[in-house]
Structure 1
Amino acid sequence: MDINSLTQSTTEAAALESNVTGNGQSAQEMSTMFLELLVAQISNQNPLEPMDGTEYVSQLAEFANVESLQSINQNTSSSLSYMNSLMVLEATNMVGESVDVLANSIALENPGSVSGMVNLSSPADSVTVQLYNSNGDLVEEKNLPYTGAGSLRFEFDNQGAGDYAVRAYTTTDNIPKQLDTWLSGDVERVSVGASSDDIILQINGLGNFELTEINQLA
């Protein structure tokens, strides 16, 4: 399972889990209400004009449908629990992997490189990425080659330890447009809460991010 599939599955599972839980409670309430109504109906029927047997059969069939719905919801809930367990396992396996997250600043504890990517929604005349230090001074600038719309990766090698900011923009017909930057970092730790919604990844130099905020494996 790749990171895009994992984050999509996490979102879908959370929505489905909420829906199934609500349906399960509704089915339970319907079952209880049906039995109460059926008992009251039998207890209060007119002895001179008792209910037709076919009506009982029809109502019992409806009750069977309600019980079937409860069983389906219980089985689905079990499947969701299994899916959540798989997601947690996949997330913990990401420790040590390099991922991209939406960010424009990074802290290097040791000398190294600052890398990441930008996404172009449309072609441009040029793509420029700039690296600034903690004092706001321009450290390095790169003009990226590209073939049109799509993703472009960048890397600033041999940077000293410290805080850095990254800015990116395109230029089309001499008009600049700022781009969002996705920076790369290694997953150091995975924290898991009560459900798949509570999976938090601690990424070296970038901070804590939810699983759904991870763009892709770098």
Structure 2
Amino acid sequence: MANTIDTSVLNSLNQTTGGSAGKASATGDLSNSFMTLLVTQLKNQNPMKPMENAEMTSQLAQINTVNGIQDLNKTLEGITSQVNAGQNLQAAALIGQGVLVPGNRVVKDGEATTPFGVELEGPADDVAITIANDSGEVVRSFSADDIGALEAGVQSFTWDGTLQDGSAAPDGRYRVSIAANQGDEPVSVTALNYAPVNGVVSTESGPRLDLGAIYGQVGLDAVRQIL
């Protein structure tokens, strides 16, 4: 009497190949291997104990599942390629432009100062902004009367480069601090600084914007506003 091929062998094969469907699809039609094994199992089954209909249906369903996974992997690969291509185009379009990204630096050079911004999680009726030098000394402050109420989201500002007494601030780098409240409740706020996009760097996780030696590299998701 011919030996029976135990169904656990097929189940084991399913588990082994299921995790590498992408590799199997690249080397050939995986479903043919499953079908060949199933036919071999039917030929060598114990005639006194043939395979039950439910068991055969289960094996066929596993074959269809493998085919479905292969098709799904191909579809996801295509979608991923399209998303990556779109991100690369978006990143390339930013070269030469200025963006607001999380950070608290302001640079003064002559009469020009770089813009800065705030990102509020909710509306705020009391916003205070202070600008300090590298030593931590506050050189200019803006109160709620100067700024007014702000809506949730991103707002951009420009410092005129003057000190509290109206005289011109020395050239150099400064840091911005922001506090926001709505009534008596604090509002979460993120300071944003300006940076020019010098180029795009391709990485496994997607394109990254090269913002120069001072600001480094950031992903597209770091861009809050294009100026």
Q: TM-score range by the shorter chain?
A: 0.5 to 0.7
Alignment match, 1:203: 211
CA distance in 1, matches of 2:173, 2:97: 22
1:180 Cα offset (Å): 2.5
Greater strand proportion: 1
2:222 corresponds to which of 198, 206, 213: 213
CA distance in 1, matches of 2:201, 2:111: 27
Question: What letter is aligned with 2:220?
Answer: L
Give CA-to-partner distance per residue, 1:82-103, whole Å, 9 cap, x none: 3212211211221112211111
Which SS does the other structure have where 1:165 is aligned? strand
Alignment match, 1:192: 202
CA distance in 2, matches of 1:194, 1:177: 36
1:181 Cα offset (Å): 0.8
Q: 1:123 and 2:127 equivalent?
A: no
CA contact (8 A) 1:112 1:160 kept: no
**TM-score scaled by structure 2?**
0.64
Alignment match, 2:20: 25
Q: Which runs of 5+ in 1 are unaligned?
A: 1-22
Which SS does the other structure have where 1:134 is aligned? coil
CA distance in 2, matches of 1:81, 1:113: 40
**TM-score scaled by structure 1?**
0.67
Question: What letter is aligned with 2:194?
Answer: S
1:189 Cα offset (Å): 1.9
Change beyond 3 A, Cα 1:83–1:141: same
Q: Which has the higher contact order (CA 8 A, sep 6+)?
A: 1
CA contact (8 A) 1:24 1:74 kept: no
Give CA-to-partner distance per residue, 1:44-71, whole Å, 9 cap, x none: 3124666589986885565245324312
Q: 1:166 and 2:201 equivalent?
A: no
Q: What is the number of equivalent residue pairs in this alignment?
A: 193
Alignment match, 2:132: 132
CA distance in 1, matches of 2:152, 2:57: 64
Which SS does the other structure have where 1:82 is aligned? helix
Which SS does the other structure have where 2:149 is aligned? coil
Question: What letter is aligned with 2:225?
Answer: Q
1:190 Cα offset (Å): 1.5
Larger Rg: 2
Question: What letter is aligned with 1:70?
Answer: Q
Alignment match, 1:154: 157
